[in-house]
Chains A and B, each alone.
Chain A
């Protein structure tokens, strides 16, 4: 079966750095997305990786290793507004998006 694993919840301190991991087992791979979702709102796009390596976008970076079925989202200089759920999603061989359950990130002052 297809599976996306990410931690259920993480806690970090304002100003610090946090890494949210995502491992996947899917039938084929056509890209990995990270989305941010605040409570009660729809997800918003953060990043897209299709090749191995690190993609940096401001305070957020996303890394992909296709051979390991692994990605991480790195958030730097954490702000209180970064408190949200972070969803990892993979496009399989049929270009269907398989979603992880999300990681709830709690930022403490």
Chain B
């Protein structure tokens, strides 16, 4: 089956530093990747939609300068949390839609990255 790998799975950083999270589709090409944030006992919140070779589309209320998304290739998207603060601590999850699948295609999720900002 399709595998999406996310790295790092856990990261602890100091306030004010930047953290990069990678999302890779290991055995398929993904034209579209999605980044979510999940708070404890809450639903997944879509942050942005990342399309290969173009700028990401951010959801309302998500600061694009704070959460930088780059989708440089068909197998890699990165989320960089810039100048992280304790309120950015959360579980960040990516998902990918295989190339060639339409809008109703199944999404495959990465393992998630737990960010703790001290």
Q: Tell me the A residues contacting B by CB distance below 8 Å.
A: 4, 30-31, 40-45, 48, 50, 87, 91, 95-97, 99-102, 104
User: Nearest chain-A residue to B109 (Cβ)?
Assistant: A42
* Known pairs A42-B109, A97-B46, A99-B43; A30 contacts B103 (CB<8 A): yes
**In the assembled complex, how far is the CB of residue A14 from the closest CB belonging to chain B, in whole angstroms?**
24
Expressed in whole angstroms, the Cα–Cα distance for A91 and B46 within the complex equals 13
- Point out the residues of chain B lying under 8 angstroms from A43, CB to CB: 44, 93, 109
B106 proximal to A (CB < 8 A): yes
Q: Total interface residues on B, using CB and 8 Å?
A: 20
- Point out the residues of chain B lying under 8 angstroms from A42, CB to CB: 6, 93, 109-112
**In the assembled complex, how far is the CB of residue B89 from the closest CB belonging to chain A, in whole angstroms?**
14
User: Nearest chain-A residue to B59 (Cβ)?
Assistant: A96
Q: Contacting B104 at CB < 8 Å: which of A41, A44, A50?
A: A50
Q: Is the interface of A mostly helix, strand, loop or mixed?
A: loop
In the complex the two chains form, is B103's CB within 8 Å of A101's CB? no
In the complex the two chains form, is B42's CB within 8 Å of A101's CB? yes
Expressed in whole angstroms, the Cα–Cα distance for A42 and B42 within the complex equals 13
User: Nearest chain-B residue to A35 (Cβ)?
Assistant: B109
B114 proximal to A (CB < 8 A): yes
Most-contacted residue by chain A among B43, B103, B109 (CB, 10 A): B43
B117 proximal to A (CB < 8 A): no
**In the assembled complex, how far is the CB of residue B79 from the closest CB belonging to chain A, in whole angstroms?**
14
In the complex the two chains form, is A102's CB within 8 Å of B43's CB? yes
The 9 A-B pairs with the shortest beta carbon distances in the complex, nearest first, are: A95-B103, A42-B109, A99-B43, A42-B112, A101-B43, A99-B44, A42-B93, A42-B111, A43-B109
- Point out the residues of chain B lying under 8 angstroms from A50, CB to CB: 104
Contacts A42-B6, A95-B103, A104-B41 known; 16 new A-B pairs at CB < 8 A: A30-B103, A41-B111, A41-B112, A42-B93, A42-B112, A45-B108, A48-B106, A95-B104, A96-B46, A97-B34, A99-B43, A100-B43, A101-B41, A101-B42, A102-B41, A102-B43
- Point out the residues of chain B lying under 8 angstroms from A91, CB to CB: 103-104
**In the assembled complex, how far is the CB of residue A57 from the closest CB belonging to chain B, in whole angstroms?**
13
Expressed in whole angstroms, the Cα–Cα distance for A42 and B1 within the complex equals 16
